[in-house]
Amino acid sequence: IDIRRFGVQAPLAEALEAYVEIKALGDQAGDWRSRTALNACRRALERLFREIAQMFPLTGLYKQYSREDKALNARRLQAAASELGISEVPPALLIVTWGQLRAVTDYDNSWRLRPLVVATLLAARDKTDHPLCLASKADPTILTKIDAIASMSGEAAHDAIAQPGTSSLDELQAVLQNVLNITGVLLGLPAKS
């Protein structure tokens, strides 16, 4: 498979390279390498969702949300997820605001992963050929996995990992494997078990 034709190639390569370095260096690996790998994983997902948005535009989807009624927005998102067969919507996705959604749909602030995922979910709602619709059939927990990656990379980027070495190689490997799986299922690439 020629992954070079997809925009996720560069951040995936960066994440894999950092992981290989960490594994080779063992205890001598600096924490910055883990942060590099986690941030690259997040960037890969951001690029992936931007690519999907090029095929299935997000413009105007923020209008499905209310400016004031957060409970209504959460119900709309849960209904969209339910229609796709997604088993659970993580709490962090349920609190995405109208303004955050508008920023990614109409102002191309696509570095905001969670609002980008929410907009993509809303876009996939009525489209059986949408990559997220197809992916949710293969993995109904896909949103939970994406949110876990967003949380870990956010903690790393904002120095929430207070203790050196708290991000283990096994945790990093699991995150990287999830990113690869999510990328594969959303791009429709063949899976290898």
At 29 the pLDDT is 74
Three-class SS string for the chain? CCHHHCCCHHHHHHHHHHHHHHHHHHHHCCHHHHHHHHHHHHHHHHHHHHHHHHHCCCCCHHHHCCCCCHHHHHHHHHHHHHHHCCCCCCHHHHCCCHHHHHHHHHCCCCCCHHHHHHHHHHHHCCCCCCHHHHHHHHCCCHHHHHHHHHHHHHHHHCCCCCCCCCCCHHHHHHHHHHHHHHHHHHHCCCCCC
**Could you report the per-residue pLDDT of 130-166, keeping only the tens digit for each?**
999 999 998 999 999 999 999 888 766 555 544 444 4
Q: Above 60 in pLDDT, residue 7?
A: yes
**Could you report the per-residue pLDDT of 34-70, keeping only the tens digit for each?**
888 899 999 999 999 999 999 999 999 999 999 999 9
Note the pTM of the prediction, 2 decimals. 0.87
The lowest-confidence range among 25-29, 60-64, 169-173 is 25-29
Residue where the block lists tokens 């999830």: 178
Q: Length of the chain in residues, anyone?
A: 193
Q: What is the mean pLDDT of residues 107-120?
A: 85
